[in-house]
Structure 1
C-alpha cells in the first residue's frame, strides 16, 4: 500500500523474507524503491540474496557511490580484487569506480543499498536539520 501526501510518501513492501518474489533484470530478491517513493536525491534497493547465491557480474558506476547496509545473514564482498566477509551490522561504501560484486554465505544475505552521486552531499544532517515547535502525539507528556 502506498500513501502519498504533500511532504511524504509511505510504502508498505512487506518483510525482507518476501523479497524473493521481486525480480530486477533477472536478479531475484532485488527491489528498487526510488520510483515507488518518488526519491529525488538517491536510489535505494531492498535486497535478499539466497544462501550460496551470487551476483553473476562485477560492476562499477559512472557517477554513483553505493552504501550497503547489511541487515541480516552473511556473505562475501568483492571490491577491486579484494574479498572480505560481511554480516549483519556491516556497512560497505563503494566509490563509483570500485569494481564490486557480492555473494551470500551459508545464510540468506539481506541488505539495503543506497546510491547517490558521489560528492553531491552539501551538508550533513546536523547542519541541515531544524528543530520545530510542532509536537507529535507522543510528545505531550502522556505515557
Structure 2
C-alpha cells in the first residue's frame, strides 16, 4: 500500500526475502519502485538474486548510469571484461556504456540499484538542503 501527500509518497514493500515473489518481465526478485512512488529524477529497484544464479545477459544503457548498493550476500560483478567479488557494503557505479552483468555467490545477493541520467546531477545535498525551524515529534523544542 502506498500513502501519499502533497510532497511525499511512502510504501512498505515488506522484507527483501519476499522479493522472489515479484515478477518483472519474467525475472523474479526485482521490484522497480519509480512508478509506485512517483519518482521523477531516478529509477530504483530492490533486488534479490538467488544463490548461484546470474543475470543471463550482459547489457548497457543508453542514458542512465547505475549505482548498485549491496546489502547482503555475495557475488561476482562483471563490468567491461573485469570481474570482481561483491558483498555487503560494496558500491558499484557503472557508466551508461559500461557492459555489465552480475551473479550471486553461495548466498542470495541482496542489492538496491539506482538509475539516473548520467551528468544530470547539478548539485549535491550540501548545496541543495535547507534547514528549517520546523520540529518533528522526537526533536526537543
TM-score, normalised via structure 1 length: 0.97
Asked whether 1:79 is paired with 2:51, we answer no
Does residue 37 of structure 1 match 2:37? yes
Structure 2 residue aligned with 1:57: 57
**Which residue of the partner structure matches residue 25 of structure 2?**
25
**Which stretch shifts more, 20-29 or 82-91?**
20-29
Q: What count of residue pairs does the alignment treat as equivalent?
A: 141
CA deviation vs aligned residue, 1:26-52 (integer Å, no higher than 9, x gap)? 111000000010000000000000000
- Normalised to the residue count of structure 2, the TM-score between the two structures is 0.99
Unaligned runs of 5+ in 2: none
Q: Secondary structure of the residue that 2:102 maps to in structure 1?
A: strand
Q: Per-residue deviation at 1:11?
A: 0.4
The CA distance in 2 between the partners of 1:124 and 1:139, in whole Å, is 25
Tell me how far 1:25 sits from its aligned partner. Answer: 1.1
Cα RMSD after superposing both structures: 0.6
Unaligned runs of 5+ in 1: none
User: Offset of 1:23 from its aligned partner?
Assistant: 1.2
Distance 2:24 2:126 in 1: 35
Runs of 4+ residues deviating >2 angstroms: none
Q: Distance in 1 between matches of 2:25 and 2:102?
A: 17
